Chain A
Amino acid sequence: MSWRRLLHSRKAVAGLVLMGFFIVLAIFPSELSPYDPTAMAFDPGLGASSAHWLGTTSQGQDVLSQLIWGARLTLIIAFGAGGLATVISVIVGVSAAYLGGFADGALSLITDVLLVIPIFPLIVVIAAYLRNTGLGEMIIVLGALGWSYGARQLRVQVLSLRNRDFLMAARVRGERSSYIIAAEIMPTLVSLIMATFFGTAVFSVLTAAGLQFLGLANPTSLSWGNMLYWAQNAEALDTGGALWAIMPGVCIALLGAAFAFLNYAFDEISNPALKPVRRLSRRALRAERHHLVEARAA
């Protein structure tokens, strides 16, 4: 995997730019937002104006400031839960494939069971028992339930590697298993691990937004899902506050799209068959033909 190839992919660049934008919002919300996001300091339900680009909420808070502050919590969930799920899927997937036998059978069974159980209803039920789901609980629940797809793919990939010559060579050299896994197998898995991370991050962002929208995850904290919860409760769409109910969803969709674009870009890098075909322009074709003729003449 090379970084230059990453920058040549249009999908990857789109994903990186969007991601960078949200990361900046998440790091510097107090510098970037025009007002205090929680202060009920303005007239309620204002439309868009030069003072309030996206209007105000029914509580008289500035929507744009809430939107900027909301990036932080969403990104923490994306990276926290996505990271946790990725770590679990690497551990489960690689050890299942490498150990084989009974361990493989048991780990694969757990993976497959988790893969087909509908996760969102399960998380809703858990959140209902927990009453007010905090940030830490949310990350743990999302991470602990979202790893199955990645683990399955990693297992298949490692299984396909198991009998390759370079691993045989390492085994014949008498390397320890821990060395073989860390230094020989892992590097070939980097792009798949990245893809797993992006996939689980999108899943976490969307699931967390769903829970927040239902009011199941501490409705007083500043997040895009909670903004939608309050907007829906205030019937913002019917009462003229459309931007309040639309913009948080746009942000969730763009962040999700950023992860999805990066995911497909890494997919294309690790599977060259999917690389987009470039149509050669007529001039390029002529140059190539010219080149061939010259080469034959030489």
Chain B
Amino acid sequence: MRFVLRRLGFFAVTLWAAVSLNFLIPRLMPGNPAQVLVAQHPHLNPQALHALLTLLGGNTNQGLLSQYVEYWGHAVTFNFGISLTTAFGDSVRTMVAQRLFWTLGLVGVTTVLAFVLGTFIGLVSAWKRGSWLDSFLPPIFVVTSAFPYFWMALLSIFVFSVTLGWLPSDNAYTTGLVPGLDWHYVGDVLQHAVLPAFTILITAIGGWILTMRNNVITVLADDYVRMARAKGLRPWRIMWHYAGKNAILPNLTGFAMSLGLVVSGAILVEDVFNYPGVGSLMLSAVSDLDYPVMQALFLLITVAVLLSILAADVITAILDPRTREQS
């Protein structure tokens, strides 16, 4: 319990840092972005104008501290006003909400898949150390984990979409199709998700395999594994119940850490595939200099990553007495 409370405290601090960064960055940048935007949109109503100045700074009538307090009000209620360029006049909140579903589906499923598959391959390759599997797979994944996500995306479009024509490479469903819970639509959505998911999976899985392999190798040198061997237990039982169980827990912490990287990769993958998630929204906001949308998305992504790390932490604390003792 103490461990969980301490972690909660840490996440509160991290959240505070993320919100404060969001507040500070536009105020520290040269060339006052707020003034630029105000000059571009002379017909904003006073209310929207005030909201914009709170988000970006540049309000000369208000002290920094009261700006900061008001900013927190916006952040807590996730009220980032209206979009200025990407979709002028739309509320940022609804824009983000529409996109969230797609990213959660794509990133969530592929992250879990990469973790499960990577952990399994890592376990087997450490168990069969020195075998052809072990000398063949890890080096390949060293190389694939150095692939830029967006390039892997380009490559898979080139191979599977342009050359072979097997899979669609644009959007999350065929344009014009009516969304609904029928097989036709769901099948279409899944078909569109295959290539982006494959891209994320291939680039993300290498890290899992290598860390799991190293964890298992360390565990295999422990006395209780030698004891299990001496007792003459079946090899697969030692592999799963003795080595695997204990090596997976540190990997779960790694799962949390690498989530930020996967999310970053997903932003680029969504861009290449025109996938209608928060990542591509963020990039169009960046290229249109739509600051309110950018700020909202950075905060949202940070909160999402923090929540998943917290979940992984709590699960580790429940499963692994070692982490509880440490605190």
Contact = CB atoms under 8 A, between A and B. Distances in A.
A140 interface: no
Interface in A91-127: 109, 112-113, 115-122, 124-127
In the complex, which range does the number of interface residues on chain A fall in? 35 or more
A252 B143 contact: no
Contacts of A237: 154, 157-158, 162
- Chain A binding surface, main DSSP class: helix
Contact of A129 (B29, B218, B260, B282): B29
Contacts of A248: 151
A237 B139 CA distance: 28
Contacts of A120: 260-261, 263-265, 267
Contacts of B143: 253, 257, 260
Max chain A Cβ within 10 angstroms of own Cβ: one of B26, B151, B286: B151
Interface stretch (B89-97, B184-192, B299-307): B299-307
A285 interface: no
Contacts of B145: 260
B14 A128 contact: no
A204 B217 CA distance: 29
Interface of B: 10, 13-14, 17-18, 21, 25-26, 29-31, 33, 129-130, 135, 139, 142-143, 145-152, 154-155, 157-158, 162, 210, 214, 217-218, 221, 256-257, 260-261, 263-265, 267-268, 271-272, 282-283, 286-287, 289, 291, 294-295, 297-298, 301-302, 305-306, 309
A245 B150 CA distance: 11
Contact of A264 (B155, B210, B287, B301): B210
Contacts of A209: 148, 150-151
Contacts of B297: 121
Nearest to B135: A276
A101 B158 CA distance: 55
A206 interface: yes
A131 B135 CA distance: 46
Contact of A210 (B14, B21, B150): B150
A148 to B, nearest CB: 10
B294 A128 contact: yes
A126 B33 CA distance: 12
A157 B178 CA distance: 57
A261 interface: yes
A186 interface: no
Nearest to B265: A120
Nearest to B290: A128
A123 to B, nearest CB: 9
A47 interface: no
A122 B21 contact: yes
B14 A117 contact: yes
B18 A117 contact: yes
B267 A129 contact: no
B148 A273 contact: no
B172 to A, nearest CB: 20
B264 A121 contact: yes
Contacts of B214: 267, 274
A216 interface: yes
A256 B33 contact: no
A53 to B, nearest CB: 19
A104 to B, nearest CB: 15
A232 B154 contact: yes
A118 B289 contact: no
Given A232-B154, A273-B218, A116 B257 contact: yes
16 contacts: A109-B10, A113-B13, A116-B309, A117-B14, A117-B302, A117-B305, A118-B260, A118-B264, A118-B301, A124-B267, A128-B294, A130-B29, A209-B151, A228-B151, A232-B272, A260-B143
